Structure 1
Amino acid sequence: MPLKALALNCTLKVDASEESSTDAMIAVLEKAFDEKQVTLSETVRVAALDIKLGVTSDEGEGDEWPALREKILAHDILIFGGPIWMGQIGSVAKRLLERMDAFLSETDDQGRMPSYGKVAVAAIVGNEDGAHFSSAQLFQALNDVGWTIPAVAACYWVGEAMGSTDFKDLDETPEMVTKTARMVAGNAAHLAGLLQSNPYPG
């Protein structure tokens, strides 16, 4: 079956019409995934949703996590995108990880979490240090709740420390970012295809 990817933009910008460097990085990955016949069906601006605080799959009235959770789990590949703030992943991304904690108790008869057999990669941007630490935070947490992380799973860009240039302000995408995006997409697509045809036994 054709592989599908969903991107989560965890920018702190609530207005989806406001330009985001995370969107720009996700667009680089979208092009790379398209070359591997993986369709990016949607990019979700998470801050525009009402994702309640908590660690369950439904935190009650008005919580928009259940619908987003269903959408996430309907895809083969998750692009988890977000900015670096204070040297680490931002609060929007952390809230999603906390909500996925519920996967630990939502296993099937073989002990597999809902995310088993699905692949996650990262799209990280910032004008400060922290890309490696942010990807380490993401990948450890995502792996804990059942996601599979491929080799070379993070595509990132960081500008000059304490600088004012954002990724979205660049005239062109740096060659190494494009090269890395292709490797991320290729490895993720390969792994997702293997898991689709041969799921984890549990």
Structure 2
Amino acid sequence: MKALFINCTLKPSPESSNTEALAAVVAEALEERGVVVDHVRLADLDVPPGVVTDLGGDDAWPTVHERLLDAQILVVASPTWLGRPSSIAQRMLERMDAMLSETSSDDTPVAYNRVAGVVVTGNEDGAHHVISEISGALGDIGYTIPGQAWTYWNQGPGPGDEYPQTEHGHEWAHSTGRLMAHNLYAVASALLVSPVPPHRE
């Protein structure tokens, strides 16, 4: 089984990423279950806006799309900015919109029988809103969203320390992240054995 982690931080490498640090807890828990984990930071890639899989030219999205289709588990990691997902997370979802019209060999949407979850960090409120926006969009695209398929960390309203600068809230965020990995793996495993069949009129 494979998992793809898409980090939607606004920071390009090699800048440190809070969402990457928390997502690593989920990735480690999946690896303990034998899952092969792949990572991509979209800020490092040339991914222009659009709603198709391949815009041509230097568009890097087609390669990300291939990695999406190679994974049974998707984890989207986004910071909270002004209580909302990052602009890069929104761009990712817009590019994934093309998957609605892409089908597998059995005519089901390509996202069917794949699971997804969300990791959010920010030193402001809004994590539940970010989780609901991203999870809702991924569900529209066809991903299965297990119960408790998310974790988050936030410092609380107003300015404050970033995730690596404090231990505040880490124990809860980490335990929730490990539960998230457990649930993602369990549902992905179930779908491998008993996939959602094609719908016939």
TM-score range, shorter chain: over 0.9
**Which residue of the partner structure matches residue 88 of structure 1?**
84
> For 1:50 and 1:27, how far apart are their aligned partners in 2?
24
**Is 1:18 aligned with 2:15?**
yes
The residue type equivalent to 2:139 in the other structure is N
- Asked whether the equivalents of residues 153 and 169 of structure 2 are also in contact (C-alpha less than 8 Å), the reply is no
Once the two structures are superposed, residues 146-183 of structure 1 have per-residue CA deviations (whole angstroms, 9 ceiling, x without a partner) of 11101101110010311221112234872211211121
- Asked whether the equivalents of residues 150 and 191 of structure 1 are also in contact (C-alpha less than 8 Å), the reply is yes
> For 1:129 and 1:81, how far apart are their aligned partners in 2?
16
- Asked whether the equivalents of residues 51 and 65 of structure 1 are also in contact (C-alpha less than 8 Å), the reply is yes
**Which residue of the partner structure matches residue 46 of structure 1?**
42
Please state how far the C-alpha of 1:32 moved relative to its aligned partner.
1.9
Once the two structures are aligned, what percentage of the paired residues are identical?
39
**Divergent runs of 4+, >3 A:** 108-111
* TM-score for the superposition, normalised by structure 1: 0.93
- Of the candidates 158, 175, 188, which is equivalent to residue 179 of structure 1? 175
The residue type equivalent to 2:33 in the other structure is K
* 2:74 aligned counterpart, secondary structure: strand
- Asked whether the equivalents of residues 36 and 185 of structure 1 are also in contact (C-alpha less than 8 Å), the reply is no
* TM-score for the superposition, normalised by structure 2: 0.93
Once the two structures are superposed, residues 90-110 of structure 1 have per-residue CA deviations (whole angstroms, 9 ceiling, x without a partner) of 100000100111111112465
The residue type equivalent to 2:170 in the other structure is P
RMSD: 1.5
The residue type equivalent to 1:162 in the other structure is G
- Asked whether the equivalents of residues 155 and 168 of structure 2 are also in contact (C-alpha less than 8 Å), the reply is no
Q: How do 1:1-202 residues align onto structure 2 when only pairs under 5 Å count?
A: 3-14=1-12, 16-40=13-37, 42-108=38-104, 110-171=106-167, 174-202=170-198
- Asked whether the equivalents of residues 124 and 131 of structure 1 are also in contact (C-alpha less than 8 Å), the reply is yes
- Asked whether the equivalents of residues 159 and 166 of structure 1 are also in contact (C-alpha less than 8 Å), the reply is yes
* 1:184 aligned counterpart, secondary structure: helix
Which has the higher mean CA deviation after the structures are superposed, 106-115 or 160-169? 106-115
The number of residue pairs the alignment matches comes to 198
* 2:109 aligned counterpart, secondary structure: coil
Please state how far the C-alpha of 1:84 moved relative to its aligned partner.
0.3
> For 1:127 and 1:172, how far apart are their aligned partners in 2?
11
> For 1:70 and 1:80, how far apart are their aligned partners in 2?
16
Segments of 5+ residues of structure 2 without an aligned counterpart are none
* 1:44 aligned counterpart, secondary structure: strand
